[in-house]
Amino acid sequence: MTDATVTPSIMNPRPMLRKFGLPALLLGFVLLATLLSGGKFIQPDNLSVILFQSSIVGVLVIGITFVMLTGGIDLSIVGIMVLSAILMGAAGSERQQMMLLNDIVPYVGPFWALVMALVVAALLGFLNGVISIRFGIPSFIVTLAMGLMLAGVALMVTGGSPIYYPPDFYEVFGETRIFGIVAPVYAFLGLAVLCWWVLKSTRFGVSIYALGGNPHASQLSGIPVVRYQILAFTICGLVAGIAGGLFLSRTGFVAPSSGGDLLLGTIAAVVVGGVSLSGGKGSIVGAVVGVLFLSSLSNLMNILLISPHIQDAISGFFILGAITLSNRLES
C-alpha cells in the first residue's frame, strides 16, 4: 500500500477526492442533519455537546493513530483508559477510599493519583509495545489479551464496585467553561495540536511514517525502528490515561465495565479519518475530522431516537464502507 501519486494533478479526480472528500462529506452531512432534525442539530448548544462528546473518543483516536501509523493496533486502549480512571478515583479521593471493598490501592491525594495513573497507563502501553515488538506477537493479540487482563485487574482493584466519588477536581474541570465550551474540549484540541506538531516536525514523528510504510528500509536507513515502535505504543498508553481523566470529568463515575462501546467507535473514527491499518499513512487532522464526523452522526441518531445498539451496528458498517471506499480510491 504505497502512495503512488506524489504530485496530485488536477486532471486526476482521485487525489482531489482523497483530499477533499471527507470535508465535503462533513459539510453535506451538516446540511442534511440540520434538515432532518428540524434545525436542532445546528444549535450552538448542541454543537458544544457534540464537541464534549467527541473529546474522549478524540483523545483515544489521537493515541491509537501513533500505533496505527507504525502498522500496529491497540485494542486495549479502552481497558487502559478505564483502569487509569479507576486509579485516579480510587487513590485520589478519601471518600472513595472508605467505600472500596479492599485496600489494594492506597490514598495518595488527587495529584499523585493522577500522576500514578498516567505512569501506569504509559507503562501498560510500553508493555504492549515490548511484548508485541520484541517477541514478534501480532499487536492485536497482545492488546486483546492485555484488555482481557486489565478487565481482571480493574475488578481486582475495585472489588467489583464502581468509583462514585472521584476527587472534586474532575467535576470542576468538566464544568469549567471558556467561551461557552467546556475545558475537556480544549484539552482534546490542545493534545491534537501537540501531537500534530510531534508527527510533523520531530525526528520521531517523521520516522514513524517511514517505518510504518516500510520497516525494513527504515531499519537500513538508520531509524531506530524497534525503539520508535515501542515509543508509539507507550505514547498511546499515556494518551489513553489522559482519556481516563476526561472520562472521569465527563461522567463523574467509572466502573470496571465502563466504556465498552468506545473501542469500536475509536477504530471507526480513525479508519473513517483515513488512517491506514497497514501503517505509514494518515494524519491527526484526518483522524480528528473522523471523530467529529462520527460524533455528529451519533448525535443526530440520538436526536432521531435511534437505539444505541443500532448505532453500534451502523459504526460497524461505517468501518467496512470507509475502508472499501478508500481501497477503491487507491487502486
The residue ranges that bind another protein (CB under 8 A) are 73, 131, 135-138, 140-142, 144-146, 148-149, 151-153, 155-156, 160, 264, 267-268, 271, 277-278, 307, 309-317, 319-320, 323-324, 327
CB of 168 to another protein, least distance (A): 29
3-state secondary structure of 305: coil
**Residues sharing a CB contact under 8 Å with residue 134, sequence separation 6 or more, in sequence order:** 226
Q: Which is nearer to another protein, 149 or 198 (CB)?
A: 149
Indicate the residue among 51 and 74 with the shorter CB distance to another protein. 74
Q: Which is nearer to another protein, 217 or 320 (CB)?
A: 320
Chain centroid offset of residue 135 CA: 25
| Closest to another protein by CB, 32 or 310 | 310
Grid cell in block for residue 203: 525526528
Residue 118 beta carbon to another protein: minimum distance, rounded to whole angstroms? 22
Quote the least distance from Cβ 279 to another protein, whole Å.
12
Shortest Å distance, C-beta 278 to another protein: 7
DSSP for 23-88, written as a single string = HHHHHHHHHHHHHHTTTSTTSHHHHHHHHHHHHHHHHHHHHHHHHHHTT---TTHHHHHHHHHHHH
Cα distance between residue 161 and residue 158, in whole Å? 6
Q: Give 133's DSSP letter.
A: I
CB of 301 to another protein, least distance (A): 12
Q: Which is nearer to another protein, 136 or 180 (CB)?
A: 136
Question: For residues 102 and 249, what is the distance between their CA atoms, to the nearest angstrom?
Answer: 24
Map residue 254 onto helix, strand or coil. strand
